[in-house]
Structure 1
Amino acid sequence: MSPRHERGPDPARGLSFSTSITRSTSTRTTASRSDRLQSHRMAAIFTHAELTKAVNHIFLPPKLPEEEDEECGDVLIRLIVDALKALRSLVTLPQTQAAIEKATHVVLSLMTIHDNSGVNEVGLRNAVAQLKDEKTIAVHVSAQNAAVLVTRKQDQLVFEQFELSPTNEAVLAAKGRLVGCFPGAAVAIPSAVFDEADCASTIARTIATMLTISRATDDSHVLYKKATCFLMSHILDKVLKLDTIIDSDLLYIMNVKIDRRRQKLLKIGEALRDPVGLRISTATRTCNEALSVRWSDIQKDDVRPTPLSELASLNFERDSLVRLPDLDGHIQKLRARCLSADVEAVFEGDKARPGLLKCQRGDIAPLPDRLDALAAASLQQFEGWVARELDTWAARTKPDIVCEIMCRVMKSYHVLASQFYDGNPEARYFDKSECLQQLLQTTQDAAEFSEQAKERELNETKQEYVRLTELFQQTDCEYSTKIVKKSMLKTHYGGKALDKCEMENICLKNGLKYGYFDRVSDSYVGDYIISDKLVLGCTYSLPPMSGVDLKKPETTLTIMQCINQCGPPSLDGSVYRQAHWILRDDSSVIWILHNLQTALKRVQENWESMQAVGCFVSIATRVLSLNNTAQEAYLAFLSDSRTVVTRWMQFVRNKAQEAQNNEDRTILAAKGVELALVCAATFELDDDLLHLVLQGSEQASLLILASIMVQEGHHIRSARQPTHVAVRYLRFQRTINRSYGLLAQNTTAIDLAMKQAWPGYVAGPGGWIRSSTADYWITSSTSASAGGMTTQLNLLDGLLLVKGQALRQLPSHYSETTLFQALFGEAIAEVMPASTPGFDFSMLYDGNIVQLGMSRDNLIVQATKDGSVFEAVPVSVLRHTFPNHFVNDYVLWYNTESDMAELQPLDDLWKSQSTLNWTLRRAEAIGCWQATKDGVHLLATESQTAKVLSEILQPFATD
């Protein structure tokens, strides 16, 4: 049996030093053979870089450098020879000394047999011929991932081969450690036969017959393990003697791996009390002492004085009392504050609202530089201008400025549209330039032709190289290589060794690359890669589902994908795509209409079927865009659908107003918005049909009513809104942008919509006046009997203002404040006039009657429940007095009757539990407050007690 060595994921074990050497010698760059032998005879002095390479190869620490290491072979050989010499001086047994000398000879033979290109045939033949009895040389056969040990014994040569690195298949299939034999099979050749002239053919014939011999079992594996452990300790000793400081982590890893090898030697009965074992123990002990000294230095540098003596003088009770001048000042102003007056707000819609993009005929339209409330309308106006006027504008504009202007406009459009259309599949995409595709193909064909020519040249040159190599093998020669720095042209395209040349290192990619540099993004433009991004961008995202249910929004998305997707073109060149071929048949169009009418009647009494009605409406409008055979019947169906959905809208709206629970109110309000969007979808018609429908005041009023309801629920729409809602909302924006001009002229329709949206509305005699600066704003006044209130309506987004304030909604400067967001979040806030003097609005929230007002741009909130009145106080009054946790994660309520303040956590608001929450009460000392919770007092951050405790505990603090 031959000794075995294990290879596997052992973190405390390095590679076999002999294996490491044979792996490395094949690729190292060397000088002449005599130069390398001379360098070996020099003193064994190693630099920091050389020792680092040796540690990486032998100890295998974590985070190895991911780069080629072509010069490590000589370093490893010198280190091993140096270690073997040291080991030889420590052992006393003759047989052990002989084994070490033999190992030294094997390692040195690597330097005489190998050169730049691998095994030197002449050097190998001479080494074998000069090989003495019981001596061994090592040969690295890199092409076969193998090594061969050649040993001369009296009348024969013994060749022992073994694998260097395991195959990928073996590594992946192994469960646990890999076990390999070292050496492997052995082949014996008689010395007399080897000395014959036809030695090479004799070796080949002998190996073919596979005269395999067996290696006698001995205890050489113990010596091998001991020598390996000594080598590692020898390297550790040299590392510790370096002038450069090595990282402590690396030293610790080296020490641990050496110690694990020591423990394994102890398990197999090796006492390690001889000089070798003592030298190993000394190296590990020295490393431990060095690490201990370093740790002591670190601890000394981090020593901080601990004021424990000051603890005896601390007064916890006194330091829990704190002055809060900001809180005292706020309480004093509660009754004296100046709340917002009950006067009509000044209408500044024309100024506050961003202007709508206006595209004049023949003139290019500048786009806004950011997203705003009118982004959808502005983008639609610009896209319409491109479709109608771009060619005309380009023809009459000076050619030298067309590209510059178009580049600027394209960038502006891309920035705006990519943000607004993000996540929406219903957007336009354009094909690549055909001329650029042809240029790419021409370039690729030329490159392929050049590569084929280079391959032919390589094959011819390799044949010539074989001939010259055979001639070279017949003579002995020595040469040296001088390494100099070369330019890129010489290094990248210089000569190659023909015996190792392949096409991949002949036809290299050009190292000189050109690229388009984008000065805006400060980066080079990358490749145009065809990916699934375009396909996914045009596809609705659907969750898994087990069946078809028209009540689910996923079904809506599936149907919209089917009816709106273009699909492949028709084979006969017709305008109809293959997916819409059925709509050429008039009978099929009538059959679809009949089924839509039947389905609508089936669900018209259940408002939860709004998704189904939305699908019916989408199908009807899509059919109308492709076939007008039954135009009047389809318009009648859409009118019926409109009526059904409007009735549902009013029902859900009333249910939301009656809901006592805020969560239920929010859910119903969201459903009301979806119903309004379905109602608006019935107007997604071509321009001619849309104008026809909007001529009817009753039908036009439903579109206005839908826009008002969508606006009322604007604060429940967020970036996380469902896909089907986002798609319908974008379609609604584009529809209303095409319609608002006609709606502004139909005052009857506006009055009808106002009456449904605001039951108390009574039209005044003055009618509706259109703004001269923002034509989507219209203004009117109610009749004198209704108070003569000024009313404004934004036809683009449905914003309805009464006396300058949104109807049943808080103004944005109320709902957008930090305090409002902390108290109410995204809750639906339907407000009424305030019942408490000095406040503007009142609302019912979670069983509390809430009054809202503004004082010098600060939101004032008063809540009443069970007869107790609380006022929200800005938590900033506690800043720099109590920890930031109480400022960032709590809301402070002041009880006007008990003169007490209560801190309620943000995740459990609206529940006054003074026994469970922190409370601020006035202390006996005048002007001081004390924070208390369940008998525990809170220290002020600036108090002496807090400072001393903080200094003591600071080392335990984490970022």
Structure 2
Amino acid sequence: MPLGCLQLDQSASKKLSGLDDEEERRDFYLIISQMALICIASFDVDEKHLRIVLTDTTQMRMMIHSSVIIQNLSHSVGACTEPFYINLALQKQRVLYNSYGFILTETLEKICQGPNLAVKSALPFYNEGGVWKLLSDIEYHWLEKKTVPRNGKVSLPIQINILTGELLVNGLPPSRLPTLYEEHPVFRELFGRELIEVMPSDIPGTIFSSMKSYHGYNFAFGMDDSEPPQLVIVASANDEILDLIPRRILNNNLPASFIDDYVHWYNRQSGMVEFRPAKSAWCSSDSNWPLRDTGSAWVLKRPGQTLICPTSSTIKRICQNPRSLEEETYIHIIRDNTTFALNISLPRLRLDFSLEQGSSGIHRRQFRGMYVDKVQQIGTLVSYVDLRPRVGDVHRVVVKVNLDGNPLSGGLAGG
């Protein structure tokens, strides 16, 4: 019975992220709290049988974790006056009072696995190193231990009240992120209206850590002192730690769409920055663009392709004609690592050009056999491109480009 209730509770918790209405949220919190109370009510047996049940660390974990859930939701649920809820709450107090006496008469080494499993259920990234001890002779219903620092994290004290289920991390109860964080544009882009339950962070440079994983990661949040304040996000999964790179750092160094259409994660282990499409910010893929430090420069390269810096003098000369059609920051120059051809793309105009290795002529892919004429006599203030055949024909084709990238008209002009 307790295990089934707890699994249902965890399933219901996931639904909360899709609820924006505060009244709906409160109703859901009430349901979760009631299920946790029912879990504890299943331990309401005589003292002899209760001792036998609690010798099973899994059962002890269920009871303590359920009490933690109820305590954490007490503020959100508020003062519920339903008789059924009140009776369950009174039953919970009786069970916890009868249980804590047994727990504390046993040696802490013997019962430590129960609190460990309960805290692990509430804080999935909690490590079980260290030993539980009584907080003091007076506060004998409080157990305390410190987390083991790993991967550059700091040690944090954790306290749990066996009588009430109150769980404290670094002296503070778990809560939700402040409004300043939840309303930040970066948070909205990545998490939408998702409710992130947090506690004090053990990662330097951040203030809050998520209590459980979201999208496969545990998160730490902070806010820097820039103007406007920039949200700091650190994502971790297993031994991988990722830092979110603010887009402003990449401004003027890359084409605009490589900045605006991607989320940029710096991997502390590999030392590279992975460009993930904004719509799949949590998915690492071989098709994503990794930015690597080669020692002399940072290179954006994925299998088969390398992004070429558009600001070099050589590239500026090569792309002089495409630059008459589009702002430099919206031109993509990508080298094919097999053929060494340069592919020049103007995404906003939906135009594509290419320059083959050993060739001096740029041709537009939409017009086979036609190359961009070096003599652009019409001028650069209107969206026209002069095209000519590679050899033989002295006639030229003048293509007017619409804002959506489609040719509006074309005509032959004498050589």
TM-score for both structures, normalised by structure 1? 0.18
Higher strand residue share: 2
The structure with the largest alpha-carbon Rg is 1
RCO (CA 8 Å, sep 6+): is it higher in 1 or 2?
A: 1
Higher helix residue share: 1
TM-score for both structures, normalised by structure 2? 0.41
